[in-house]
Amino acid sequence: MRALLCMVAVCTLVACSTDEPKPALPAPLPTVDPPPAAGPIRTVGYRNPLGNTRVVDNLMVDGDFELTGRTGQMPWQAFDKNGQATLTYDTGGRCRSGVRCGSFIKGQNLVGYFAVPDTGNVVVTLYGKPDTGKCSDLHAYVYDLAGIASASSLVQAAATPDATGWCTYSGVAKGLAKLEPVIYLDNVGGRVLVDEAVALPASGKLMLDAVQPPPPDGATLARAHDIAEWIRRNRPYGVSPRHAD
Amino acid sequence: MRASLLLGPVVATFFVAVSGVAHAGTFDVDGRFSFDTRAILRETFVSNDAQKAMTIVDAADALEGGTLGLVDTTSSSYTLALNLPKTDASYRARMFLRKNRAVVTLSVGYPADGGSPGFFARFYPTGVVTSDGWYEVVTAPFSFQGSRAATTSVNVSGNGVEIDAFEIVPEGAFRALSACIGVGDPVCRGNEACMSGWCRDGNLFLPPLPPPSEMDDVVTYFENRFRFFFGGRASRETRLPIAIATLEEMRKAGSGWEFWNGLGMGLRRLHDWHTTINGPVSVGGRGALPVCFVEGDGDLSHGLAPADPSYADVLVSHVGPSKNLGLKAGDRLVAVNGMHPIAFSETLESVDWGMWRADDPRVHAEPVERMSGLIRRFARNFTIVRCASDGTCSAPEVIDIANLPVDDGTVQSPYCDHRPGYHLSANGPNPLTHDTYNGPFHGLLADSQSGENLYGMIWDDVYLTDPNQNPYAESMDEFRAKASGVILDHRLGNGGTAYAAEYLTSLFRTPKLLGASTGFHLTTSLYDAPFTPAQGLDLFQIYSPVGGDAYNVGDGSAKVNDMPTALLLARDGSASDWFPLGMVDLPNVRVFGRRTAGAFSSFIEFDYFGQFSWRLASGDLVHPDGSTQLGTGVPPAEDLVPKQSDLVQGKDTVYLRALDWIRTCTGCR
């Protein structure tokens, strides 16, 4: 059983062979474009304040940071060297979906929970907006908090952001049924906004390309392991005192 | 700072069509903001009256006027006093925020003139956003009785959040609150609920109704949060289908109240101890009723009011020092609105946002704990039987809610901890306030005779993450060194961490692996029927080797041969389920009291604007044989409740039985 469960792998979407069906990605949301240099001082738009709920079967608990608080056992949790840290945000049209997004600084790690089906693979996509303009500031992984499945990397689609400033990170996660899958983020540069994470069952048969994304290094795995330990030890089993009216 | 009343309209030049959702002000083609032309009050945040919670900041990208407010309310919140016209009208309040979320609330207070009570309205995002990070938040339209010398303010609480462009705009038709007599009173309209005697506009508590183009997706999205992440084997099998059917009704909602109360009802109908809602819908009760109730045995009064076959009797455990209607320990709460009190609590699913139920359907201590608040908010009347220390009881007496003493702010309500008394010889909880949340309390029992060395501990929380900061170590060290018998009074068990539950068993039993937590429910159909023992065994084999997930109780150095130990339970859940699970079926330990809640999971928290947050239970405990535990509370060896005949004489039935057992038990040493 354990050997079977360890068969987790991720390949980049671009690295998968071309004759296989591509997993469906959510349709892009209308964006609030940054104003031209000599144009309006700002642009105005509308977002569903609950996030990209058009992806009704998003397996992320809260891919859009709209239902996530700053501390506690939330869909996303931030960590620093002292344990759980306060998750900070940015807002409005600076975000990619909804009215809030994660504002992720160097020295922190972010953990975002998602579900997987009993069988089959899961396509994971998220977006990061680095202040430095370098997509490599954000390292993204799929990790099993139970420590049974092997961790794997998500891969950035390009070295530099798209015209709206966002970088895309994606991959295919396999073999996480019955385990505790999370997106695990590491920031090695300046501030990065994170938003619109989507996990969906992969449609069709996916094949692994010979070119695999590099696995997380030892230091990353050790850090992720420490965070997983912290989560398990501090996992709340209870209510706040004086719950009653 | 006091917001100014406009002398004339501000001319808007451009309307940005964003959706059917109401939005503040207008933006011209260059993105410059102007207040709504109809605004009767606006605030541009150019000065401050020395409130530390907010500073004025010059900002080129302020929405209006070149300055904005920076709110940082670590120790206090920012309050903006409002001066609305002294006429009755309906308004909507709006503002813009940036850089973080803030809890923004508009409060209206009225003098005690016999009219309708004051109210508050929460601000929620509309979805209007700007490229420089601003987002709009609004209240629902609110009816304001300016003719009643009202006081009005807006309170902002947040950290590092920028605020700008506050305005109040006439919107909707004025409608005074209607008085009502109880839940379901037809005088209340579709967007209203009868709470504390008045039809409350539910829209003021909750986010707006999603636009039609989004509503179905939002409903399905929430249904899938339930499907993907909720519960364990039993709760998914028995309650999830009911909750999903409830969420389906949200598609027909015609107001924000109907929509979001549908989500609330879906959560409440999961009947799960961890699955609770905090915040958004909060209405104070009427009058004073500083009285704590417990499940009990009304043995003195069954001739006057027969016992219910489904529920235990409800008795007064302890009361506050004044304005308590003369109620005292042992008096019996026979009925609320003519129903058994627990049955009454179960009729409140449509309005009681604090509803709290155990996973095990046989367990009802939670609503009994909340009974005073439920009566003050939702009841028309209640029926009591008063009994004297000589065992005589008076005929049932119906008390109308209108006759409760006035709560003038001096009422002292004790903590309802299911403990009629404390029994430590010194340093126990305060018997007036019942401040057991400050525990653990421990020491020699007052009843310990010379040479008996009987000790006790009273505590509510089972919380421990760092062995170097262990609040229970002193107690355990004392018991190990001195005790020949122990009574562990955990009749209020809030849970905490599994690690603490493990630790608390370590003095009392030898080691055993009892099971494993399965973590969150993160495999979409993990427990779907048919769930077989083989599948459970598979989960056990996965999680029992994982540090922190295995539930290992006991210790090789446990004091099992010369220290009989009684564990008292009444309202216990989660880690306060796990701990008793590790204390049953042992010759040296006996559990007295009530079955635990069966809440053998953790939970995922969700947090939205307006202090609207909720918890969704997630996970289960799987045993080495593959069976699951969620939904089944730990049964006591002796199912005991306080007897009315004991309470009226100041006796603590459950404690006295435990004391007798540790003195006389055989095979326990």
**Per-position b or e across A88-120, b if 16+ CB within 10 A of its CB:** bbbbbbbbbbbbbbbbbeeebbbbbbbbbbeee
* Of B314, B319, B318, nearest in space to B290 by CA: B319
- pLDDT band for position A204 (cuts 50, 70, 90): low
**Per-position b or e across B5-29, b if 16+ CB within 10 A of its CB:** ebeeebebeeebebbebbbbbbbee
Query: Tens digit of pLDDT for each residue in B394-427?
Result: 999 999 999 999 998 899 999 999 999 999 999 9
Q: How far apart are CA A50 and CA B250, in angstroms?
A: 16
Q: Is A56 exposed, middle or buried (0-12, 13-18, 19+ CB in 10 A)?
A: middle
* Of B488, B634, B493, B460, nearest in space to B573 by CA: B493
Q: Which CATH number fits domain B291-403: 2.60.120, 2.60.40, 3.90.550, 2.30.42?
A: 2.30.42
Give CA separation, B16 vs A43, A182, B28, B31, B41, in Å.
10, 39, 8, 9, 22
C-beta separation of B460 from B540 below 8 A = no
| Cis-peptide, bond into residue B530, ω within 30° of zero | yes
CA–chain centroid gap for A1, Å, is: 28
Asked if the Cβ–Cβ distance from A33 to B220 is below 8 Å, we say: no
Residues 6+ apart with CB under 8 A from B44: B64, B65, B67, B164, B165
What Rg, from alpha-carbon coordinates, does chain A have?
A: 18
pLDDT (0 to 100) of residue B24: 58
Query: Tens digit of pLDDT for each residue in B301-345?
Result: 999 999 999 999 999 999 999 999 999 999 999 999 999 999 999
C-beta separation of B277 from B264 below 8 A = yes
| B255 has a pLDDT exceeding 60 | yes
pLDDT (0 to 100) of residue B279: 81
- pLDDT band for position A212 (cuts 50, 70, 90): low
Asked if the Cβ–Cβ distance from B99 to A117 is below 8 Å, we say: no
Q: Which CATH superfamily is domain B4-176 in?
A: Galactose-binding domain-like (2.60.120.260)
C-beta separation of A52 from B217 below 8 A = no
| Out of B32, B125, B524, closest to residue A117 by CB | B524
CA–chain centroid gap for B621, Å, is: 24
Q: Which CATH number fits domain B420-511+554-598+633-669: 3.90.226.10, 1.20.140.10, 3.40.50.2000, 3.30.70.20?
A: 3.90.226.10
Query: Tens digit of pLDDT for each residue in B579-590?
Result: 999 999 999 999
| B75 has a pLDDT exceeding 90 | no
How many residues are given for chain B? Answer: 669
C-beta separation of A216 from A224 below 8 A = yes
At B592, give phi and psi (nearest 5°).
Answer: -120, 145
Mutate to test the interface with B, among A44, A144, A148, A227 (most CBs of B within 10 A): A44
pLDDT (0 to 100) of residue A151: 85
- pLDDT band for position A17 (cuts 50, 70, 90): very low
Between residues A124 and A205, the one the model is more confident about = A124
**Once rounded to an integer, what is the mean pLDDT over residues B256-271?**
98
Q: How far apart are CA A14 and CA A206, in angstroms?
A: 12
Instruction: Calculate helix-pair angle for B256-268, B212-229, nearest 10 degrees.
Output: 10
| A11 has a pLDDT exceeding 60 | no
Q: Closest residue of A to B133, CA-based?
A: A92
**Once rounded to an integer, what is the mean pLDDT over residues A100-115?**
96
Q: How many CB pairs under 8 A join A and B?
A: 265
Q: How far apart are CA B527 and CA B236, in angstroms?
A: 7
Asked if the Cβ–Cβ distance from A50 to B497 is below 8 Å, we say: no
pLDDT (0 to 100) of residue A31: 58
| A24 has a pLDDT exceeding 80 | no
**DSSP β-bridge partners for residue A116:** B523
pLDDT (0 to 100) of residue A32: 66
**Once rounded to an integer, what is the mean pLDDT over residues A181-195?**
96
Sheet bearing B291-296, strands edge to edge: B291-296, B313-319, B332-336, B381-385, B397-400
Percent of chain B scored above 70 by pLDDT? 96
**Domain range list for chain A:** 7-14+47-234
Asked if the Cβ–Cβ distance from A43 to B374 is below 8 Å, we say: no
What is the bridge-based pairing of β-strands B67-72 and A122-130? Answer: unpaired
Q: Closest residue of A to B212, CA-based?
A: A48
Mutate to test the interface with A, among B63, B236, B259, B607 (most CBs of A within 10 A): B607
* Of A215, A194, A83, A182, nearest in space to A138 by CA: A194
The H or E element containing residue B474 is helix B473-482
Number of other residues whose CB lies within 10 A of the CB of residue B160 = 14
Query: Tens digit of pLDDT for each residue in B151-210?
Result: 999 999 999 999 999 999 999 999 999 999 988 899 999 999 999 999 999 999 999 999
List, as one string, the DSSP characters of A119-164: SS-EEEEEEEEETTS-GGGEEEEEEETTS-SPPEE-EES-SS--TT
- B523 lies within 8 A of chain A by CB: yes
Sheet bearing B495-496, strands edge to edge: A237-238, B495-496, B461-462
Q: How far apart are CA A139 and CA B480, in angstroms?
A: 51
Q: How far apart are CA B579 and CA B495, in angstroms?
A: 9
Which of B77-86, B483-492, B593-602 has the least mean pLDDT?
Answer: B77-86
Query: Tens digit of pLDDT for each residue in B293-310?
Result: 999 999 999 999 999 999
To the nearest 10°, the Cα dihedral for B313, B318, B320, B323? 40
What is the rounded average pLDDT for all residues in chain B?
94
Q: How far apart are CA A46 and CA A98, in angstroms?
A: 9
Q: How far apart are CA B484 and CA B493, in angstroms?
A: 25
**DSSP β-bridge partners for residue B294:** B315
Outline where DSSP puts E strands in B131-197.
135-138, 142-145, 151-170, 192-195
- B19 lies within 8 A of chain A by CB: yes
Q: How far apart are CA A113 and CA B308, in angstroms?
A: 45
Q: How far apart are CA B75 and CA B82, in angstroms?
A: 22
List, as one string, the DSSP characters of B215-274: HHHHHHHHHHHHHHH-B-HHHHHHTHHHHHHHHHGGGG--SHHHHHHHHHHHHHTT--SS
**Domain range list for chain B:** 4-176, 209-270+518-552+601-632, 291-403, 420-511+554-598+633-669
CA–chain centroid gap for B209, Å, is: 24
pLDDT (0 to 100) of residue B11: 28
| Out of B546, B601, B605, closest to residue A74 by CB | B605
C-beta separation of A152 from A100 below 8 A = no
Assigned CATH class of A7-14+47-234? mainly beta
Q: How far apart are CA A91 and CA B57, in angstroms?
A: 18
Q: How far apart are CA B113 and CA B172, in angstroms?
A: 25
Mutate to test the interface with B, among A200, A239, A243 (most CBs of B within 10 A): A239
C-beta separation of A187 from A137 below 8 A = yes
pLDDT (0 to 100) of residue B18: 42
